[in-house]
Amino acid sequence: MASKYDLSGMNIPNHVAVIMDGNGRWAKKRMLPRNMGHKAGANAVEKIIEEAHDIGIKYLTVYAFSTENWNRPEQEVSALMKLLRNYLEDCIKKADKNNIRVRVIGERNRLAEDIIDRINELEEASKHNDGINFTIALNYGSRDEITRAIKKIAKECEDGVLKAEDINEETVSKHLDTFDMPDPDLLIRTSGEERLSNYLLWQLAYTEFYFTDVLWPDFDREELEKAVIKYNERDRRFGKVSE
Ligand code: FPP
């Protein structure tokens, strides 16, 4: 957990969202099967939660499986599900020990029943933990999330609980899976790709983006510190002019 850079006096982003890309290429470079890349990626997740907490980041949200990832070869999908299953099981003990509050965002219904049970158990067991808030986006797609939010809002209008003219941005935010979380301050995407891939489209409206060529399994504390330093060089104006 040694720091390479001195972050004292720096503005630490409250919420960091991550697109963990490059597991496949990491494995290929080592002549290993893709699944070994995902395994190394899962190990990197475990380490980075602790590092983020130590740096002072309060919310960390990672993209583990997108609504589009079902289109990968069946063998890769089932290996990823197995990895997530094991991770969720492990996480119950770790969340308690390290005071981590875990949430899962995304459409749960398509997930296996035992995975849904594990998610519910983990969220319930960790809900009073007040260390870092760690969120896993699982079977997550931003367009799907927004569509589900619209359906919920429409239903409330139909039921007479809500009037169409009262719908505002806060109404939308409160119907998203991230309803009880602040918007991300910093988005990190690894492996050199520079796109959002249907991740947190609403929530990233004013977020600073940081792209790095480092492959996700190699993303460590030093890389996270570099991202925080870059974040501090940005001038966040939220549509206003600089003071
Ligand atoms: C993208 O790399 C990564 C994924 C689709 C999966 C991310 C999953 C993990 C890091 C492991 C499990 C997560 C948790 C929370 C324990 P890629 O396969 O697209 O890599 P490539 O672009 O190099 O092929």
Which residue has the CA at smallest separation from atom 14 of ligand 1?
42
39 lines ligand 1 (CB under 6 A): no
Q: What is the dihedral of CA 209, 147, 42, 123, to 10 degrees?
A: 110
pLDDT above 80 for 229:
yes
For Cα atoms 218, 187, 208, give the angle at the middle one, nearest 5 degrees. Answer: 130
pLDDT in tens, 14-55: 999 999 999 999 999 999 999 999 999 999 999 999 999 999
Distance CA 77, CA 214 (A): 24
Residues 69-98 have pLDDT tens digits of 999 999 999 999 999 999 999 998 899 999
Q: Is the CB of 42 under 6 A from ligand 1?
A: yes
Among the listed residues 177, 169, 170, 168, the one whose alpha carbon sits nearest the alpha carbon of residue 149: 177
Identify the residue with better confidence: 40 or 2. 40
- pLDDT at residue 111, rounded to an integer: 96
Catalytic residue among 11, 14, 35, 69: 69
Instruction: For the domain covering 15-141+183-231, report its CATH number.
Output: 3.40.1180.10
pTM attached to this predicted model: 0.96
Residues 161-203: tens digit of each pLDDT: 999 999 999 999 999 999 999 999 999 999 999 999 999 999 9
pLDDT at 159: 98
Please state, in angstroms and rounded to a whole number, the distance separating the CA atoms of residues 31 and 176: 41
Nearest atom (ligand 1) to Cα of 87: 16
113 falls in which pLDDT band (50, 70, 90)?
very high
The proportion of the chain whose per-residue pLDDT surpasses 70, expressed as a percent, equals: 99
Taking the domains of the chain in order of start, what are their residue ranges?
15-141+183-231
Q: How far apart are CA 48 and CA 220, in angstroms?
A: 6
Is the CB–ligand 1 distance for residue 207 below 6 Å? Answer: no
